[in-house]
Structure formats: C-alpha cells, structure tokens
Amino acid sequence: MDIEFLTNPDAPPPPPTAAYSHAVRAGDFLFVTGQLGVDPKTGALVPGGAAEQTRQIMQNLQTVLRGAGTSFERVVMVRIYLVNFAADYPAVNAVYASYFKAGRFPARTTVGVTNLALGSLVEIDLIVRC
C-alpha cells in the first residue's frame, strides 16, 4: 500500500516544534491531523471562545480536505478534544454539526482534556474514506 504525505499551503503550517503532515493518505483512507482554531494568515488563535475556534478549525479542516480532493461528506470518524467540556460542548457541537448534512453525521468521540497546544480550547481530527 502506498502512503502519501500531504501538506496544504493554505492551511496553518505546523509550528516549528511539531513534526507532522496535514494529512496522510493510506490506501482508501485519509487521516487528517488535528487542527486548532488558528488563522492561517496570522498563525494565531482566532479571538473569541470555543465556538469561534471551532468555526476556524472546521474551515482549516475543509481546506485540508479540499487540497486532498475530498470533502466533509466522506468523513467517517471525528475526534474532538475540549478543554472546558461542560461549558463549551453545546457551542462546539452546534458549529461542528453545521458542516454536515442532517442525518449524515460521522462516528465521533469527544474527549475532555486538560490542555491543548497554543492554549486552544478545541482540537478536531478526522478519518476520511477516499
């Protein structure tokens, strides 16, 4: 099986301390690295809270997916990491859900964590069927 390592110049670049590709295609699957609410133009977290970060994350993920020739319609599994699970879950879930067709949501795991890189409140990664 061939493995393809993908980097998209329109997505936020990895920080100098992190070694990763935006996505890796292995066979019929695309594994998309967890994204933070980083504005790709400034390299900084977007202002606001978890909802604003989630919106930026979903846009960043969409950029990576488009660069790989796919879309949210092909996502089979999602992992969401939240620093303030109880407080932020409803807002994060609402923004996240708006990127999928009703009734066509991928499988998902949502996990409460103590910290995320750059002080982010949310991180989301994907597994996609190509």
> Domain count of the chain?
1
- Model pLDDT for residues 99-130, shown as the tens digit of each residue: 999 999 999 999 999 999 999 999 999 999 99
Q: In which domain, by residue range, is 106 found?
A: 3-129
- Residue by residue, DSSP assigns the chain as --EEEE--TTSPPPPTT----SEEEETTEEEEEEE-SB-TTT-SBPSSSHHHHHHHHHHHHHHHHHHTT--GGGEEEEEEEESSHHHHHHHHHHHHHTTS-TT-PPEEEEEE-S--GGG-SEEEEEEEE-
Domain of 53, CATH number, reads 3.30.1330.40
- Model pLDDT for residues 45-104, shown as the tens digit of each residue: 999 999 999 999 999 999 999 999 999 999 999 999 999 999 999 999 999 999 999 999
